[in-house]
Amino acid sequence: MSEARVVELGSGDSDWLLGAAGARPEVKFVGVELRGPAVTRARRRAADLPNLELIEGDGVTWLREHVPDRSLSELHVYHPQPYLDPAEARFGMLSPAFFYDARRALQSSGTLIVQTDHPAYGRYLGALMSQCFQVTTLPGPWPDAPTGRTRREQHAMHKGLAVTRLFGPPREYAEARAEPRPWFDPDRPGQRRVRRR
Ligand SMILES: C[S@@+](CC[C@H](N)C(=O)[O-])C[C@H]1O[C@@H](n2cnc3c(N)ncnc32)[C@H](O)[C@@H]1O
């Protein structure tokens, strides 16, 4: 069990990974998370799960530099933060380039799962993802987790926020790479000042 098969980027407290790795002990899971304290806490909870590796670092770079072509069966990204401000863009995980790299890393039968509780960001991510994935939008919660797979999803559902859940396999042929400027407003109305450029 040396190579990662199922990966979550930005795994936060790793609730979904802990449950999934426990349920599928024959599969190697990897989570990559920027925040060290969250990784430390999750490692403690994962002590009895030899098939789960938790890495502290930038998931996008890790995917690009450490994951061989066509090696993953699943790649999960739950509730990445939307950043539009160029000064903050480096914190954003899901650029157009990310989706091309995700396609490279996934087996042809593999699946990319992306979800957000920011509806406009969800539409933007769906457009980017569909350049190189056949995208399906799940009409409701995940059947295996009716109250939410991750902590952020559970929080969003508790607050009554609409969650956009996108998934699908890589396209055999990706569209020519386009880099549309984000059109969504990353601020939630009423929570933060709207930036205008
Ligand atoms: C809103 S939280 C969601 C956490 C978890 N996926 C969930 O749904 O509960 C987004 C997480 O992504 C992490 N993150 C942001 N950019 C990242 C990157 N480039 N690499 C790894 N983690 C990142 C953040 O530190 C944060 O824990």
Q: Please work out whether the CB of residue 60 comes within 6 Å of at least one atom of ligand 1.
A: yes
Whether the CB of 42 sits within 6 Å of ligand 1: no
* Distance between Cα 91 and ligand 1 center (Å): 10
**Tell me, what's the pLDDT at 194?**
41
| Residue 181, pLDDT score | 60
% helix / strand / coil in the chain, to the nearest 5? 30, 20, 50
**Is 6-168 assigned to CATH 3.40.50.150?**
yes
Q: pLDDT digit of tens for each residue in the chain (197 aa)?
A: 556 699 999 999 999 999 999 999 999 999 999 999 999 999 999 999 999 999 999 999 999 999 999 999 999 999 998 876 666 655 678 888 899 999 999 999 999 999 999 998 999 899 999 999 999 999 999 999 999 999 999 999 999 999 999 999 999 887 666 666 666 666 665 444 444 44
pLDDT for 93: 82
CA-nearest residue for atom 12, ligand 1, is 10
The CA-atom distances, in angstroms, between 167 and each of 39, 41, 77, 136, 173 are 25, 28, 10, 5, 17
The DSSP secondary-structure symbol of 139 reads: S
The pTM for the full model equals 0.90
C-alpha 172 – ligand 1 centre gap (Å): 29
CA nearest neighbour of 94 among 77, 110, 75: 77
Neighbours of 3 (CB within 10 A): 10
